[in-house]
Amino acid sequence: MGSQIDPSEGSGKEMQSAPSRKQVYVVDDHPVFREGMAQIINGEQDLLVCGQAGDAEQALPEIERLQPAIVLVDLSLPGKSGLELIRAIRARNRTVKLLVVSMHDEALYATRVLRAGGDGYVMKEEDPEEIVNAIRDVLAGHIYVSEAVMADMKPQERGSMPRQSDLHEVSDAELATLEMLGRGKTNAEIAGSLRLDLSTVEAQCAEIKRKLKLRTDNELIRYAVCWVETGAA
């Protein structure tokens, strides 16, 4: 069950009595997940999916044209990341609601999402009913995050597992590069996937090592792999 920050008057139940359905736009690079979310959302009396996209390049002009009430955003997208997409949407539209639905660790990303202009964060592993509840809460003017994040609980340290607190100095762009390193991608593959120059990726890796106090590229790769395999990414 999620928690709410600065709750406003009204609730999702009141919205259900509204004459029109709130339009939802879904951005996720997995077609199966997008279609599944669309079926769940369209099965609700107060919600309707008006469009969907697999990347930011397709999503931005469609969101501007369709003017949905809320956009569901995954963090891992080809090209422009979910965080970058949130910033781009927010720069164009101050009223649309933005909810991240992601497999990434909420304890690390939720604050980043809110700083970027998002309105909430819910994990993909949650029950569909909980995701729908999160959509309604955000539409009602709430900020939706888990109770653990709401209470600012510190993650339990397990052996040599990379600590999330070590990563808070790492930028959003650097974090995307670190994740791809942990998934076995080379610098050249990362550059191609994120549409960056190879020199930019190399500079990001050097900066990540500095911030995490890692001495060599091998230490950086071991850290990245451990972070991903322990479920932090």
Query: What is the per-residue pLDDT across 115-170, written as a single tens digit (0 to 9) for each?
Result: 888 999 999 989 999 999 999 999 988 888 876 666 553 333 333 345 555 678 89
Mean of pLDDT values over 64-75: 96
Mean pLDDT is lowest, of 25-39, 61-75, 144-158, for: 144-158
Higher pLDDT, 221 or 74: 74
Q: What is the pLDDT of residue 192?
A: 92
Contact (CB, 8 A) for 5 and 137: no
Q: Tell me which of 32 and 8 has the higher pLDDT.
A: 32
pLDDT value, residue 147: 66
Q: What is the pLDDT of residue 2?
A: 56
Q: What is the pLDDT of residue 228?
A: 74
In the predicted structure, residue 3 carries a pLDDT above the cut 60: no
Give 164-229's CATH code, choosing from 2.60.120.10, 3.30.70.360, 3.40.50.150, 1.10.10.10.
Answer: 1.10.10.10
Fold of the domain built from segment(s) 2-150: Rossmann fold (3.40.50)
Per-residue pLDDT, 108 = 78
Look at residue 206 in the predicted model and tell me its pLDDT: 94
Domain boundary assignment for the chain: 2-150, 164-229
pLDDT at 131: 95
Average pLDDT over residues 100-110: 84
- In the prediction, which pLDDT does 8 show? 40
> 232: pLDDT confidence band, cut at 50, 70 and 90?
low
